[in-house]
Amino acid sequence: MRTGSEAVSRTGSPAGKGHQRLNRIELTAIGIIHTPYTEPKDMPIQGRFKDDVEGWLELKEEYVPGLRDLDGFSHLIIIYHFHRSDREEMQGQPYLEDESHGIFAIRSPHRPNHLGLSIVRLQRIDGNRIYFTEVDMLDGTPLLDIKPYVEHFDRREGVKSGWVDKHFEDGTAPEETIIR
């Protein structure tokens, strides 16, 4: 199988526009994400605010041995490709916000490399199917990686969440999407 690293012809030095071809990395989908959401407008801001919806990852059979012991984790980090995004923006205006923010300060799909990340709650694994809740991906999204969510690495205290904090001031989630 071709791996991403084989496709990197050069790294280690900063590159301007003329050198971009030297920094290309080629990935292959390891599976497909199945969810009830076929259009962005139907999705919740983040899956954890609507936890009665279930999705599942359909892993290519060749990767099933990689799932060993994953069932000991309550949460997973899913990395995927925002395949429906047709553009790359440097700024975006999240829903409910009056001003725009840099693309690296929001979770918009219209970002360089179109990589998406969600933390989901693992429900059960059945062969090559990984069922989960806290769903916020579109149906048919190409899956790129699954990592265990490790409390000791991934959970932070004393976090400042920039422009997002004001929408959660009363300790509850806003009713409307603010990210998509």
Q: Rule CB under 8 A: which of 79-108 touch a copy of itself?
A: 79, 81-88, 90-91, 100-107
Choose between 2 and 41: whose C-beta lies nearer to a copy of itself. 2
Amino acid code (one letter) for 102 = G
Out of 75, 96, 123, 133, name the contact with a copy of itself by CB under 8 A.
75
Type and span of the H or E element at 153: helix 151-154
Report how far residue 63's alpha carbon sits from residue 59's, in angstroms, rounded to the nearest whole number. 7
Report how far residue 89's alpha carbon sits from residue 45's, in angstroms, rounded to the nearest whole number. 19
Does position 180 interact with a copy of itself (CB under 8 A)? The reply is: no
- Output the six-digit token pair for 17: 């526009």
Which 6-35 residues touch a copy of itself, going by CB under 8 A? 8, 11-17, 20, 23-32
Report how far residue 103's alpha carbon sits from residue 52's, in angstroms, rounded to the nearest whole number. 30
Q: 112: helix, coil or strand? A: helix
Number of chain positions touching a copy of itself (CB under 8 A)? 95
- The structure tokens 């553009």 sit at 87
Q: How far is the CB of 164 from a copy of itself (least distance, A)?
A: 5
Choose between 54 and 119: whose C-beta lies nearer to a copy of itself. 119
Per-residue interface string for the shown chain with a copy of itself, residues 124-153, x marking contact by CB under 8 A: ----------------xxx-xxxxxxxxxx
- List C-alpha distances in Å: 36 to 48, 98, 109, 134, 140: 15, 30, 19, 12, 10
Q: How far is the CB of 114 from a copy of itself (least distance, A)?
A: 4
Q: How far is the CB of 41 from a copy of itself (least distance, A)?
A: 19
Does position 114 interact with a copy of itself (CB under 8 A)? The reply is: yes
